[in-house]
Amino acid sequence: MSDTRDSNQGRFVSAEAVAKLAGVSRSAVSRAFTPGASIAPATLARVHAAAAVLGYQVNDLARGLLANRSRLVGLVTSDADTPFRAQMIAALSHALIERSNVPAIINIGPTAGDVANASRQLLRYRAEATVFLSGSPPASLVELTRRNGQPLILINRAETGLDSVHCDDRDGAQQAFEALRMAGASRFAVINRATPSSSLSAREHAFVEFAAASGFEAKVMRTGRADYNGGKEAARRLLASGPAPDAVFCVNDLMAFGALDHLRGAGLRVPDDVSIVGFDDVPVAAWSSYSLTTLRQDPRRIASEVVSILDRRLANPDSPPTSVYFPVKLVVRKTVRARL
């Protein structure tokens, strides 16, 4: 059996080439790579031997398109390079590959048009489902995907009538407030971005509410993006606006890192003068230079919930939408003063 790869240089090896080398029909090659299909053991061995020589791989994309099912699952996101988003993409990709899906990551801009364009592209490729890590799809697009039988799943986004997976933002904010209050704090502040997502907004509002219920006012400082520079700028404005807070809740870890560096640079001692709590527990939070107390979201738990929802939705397309809430855990490190 000779090696015929040179004749196919620059092209994918075809099933026809395998059939020719093995001396069988094209349909025999198809049966050889279809689990449970009827094929004689000797023929199966010849086909697999020819495939090994040629380096043949089954074209799952073509098979999926013939079955109107590509196995693609779109992951629509922005800021894919930020630590928690990168963790989330990695966890989802792993879980989907385990499910025999092909994750297609689309990094979008900030507008509703960017979201719509990404979703339409995934519809054209017959994606099995789309998972939104950022942005919320317009109502017209939701209806279009429903007519085409493509499930939409949102992560930490609020949208009526769609399947979604959320961390418990409210409970996380309560844990943050209680940790800061037990540390003896009395001057509270919240750092958030200028235009927060529904999840970041829920964290802010819940913290303010818990503070008010205990007789305290929490100053809210919103600025820039929800990143390191946004946290630095928010901390700068906090110090310029009056007495320094002795407790700061940041709606994510990136803003907490920026706030920490600015407050330390201004001469405040953390946690002796001011305690700080973040949200997400990205890997950098455990670094000794930050050792940030934070609320942990588990990306693997989120990915598992997404896959479970996808399985249920494909099995029963007309079932009511599911909203799954999972707990967050306070990870205590060195940015909150020890209890008095």
The structural domains of the chain, ordered by start, are 5-58 (1.10.260.40), 69-167+299-326 (3.40.50.2300), 169-297 (3.40.50.2300)
pLDDT in tens, 307-316: 999 999 989 9
pLDDT for the residue 72: 87
pLDDT for the residue 144: 76
pLDDT for the residue 326: 92
Helix H or strand E encompassing 73? strand 72-77
pLDDT in tens, 220-264: 999 988 999 999 999 999 999 999 999 999 999 999 999 999 999
pLDDT for the residue 3: 42
Cβ contact 73:128 at 8 Å: yes
pTM of the model: 0.80
Q: How far is CA 83 from CA 54, 132, 153, 233, 252, in A?
A: 41, 17, 21, 20, 11
pLDDT for the residue 7: 47
Average pLDDT of the chain is 87
Instruction: Flag residues of the chain having pLDDT under 50.
Output: 1-9
Helix (H, G, I), strand (E, B) or coil at 267: coil
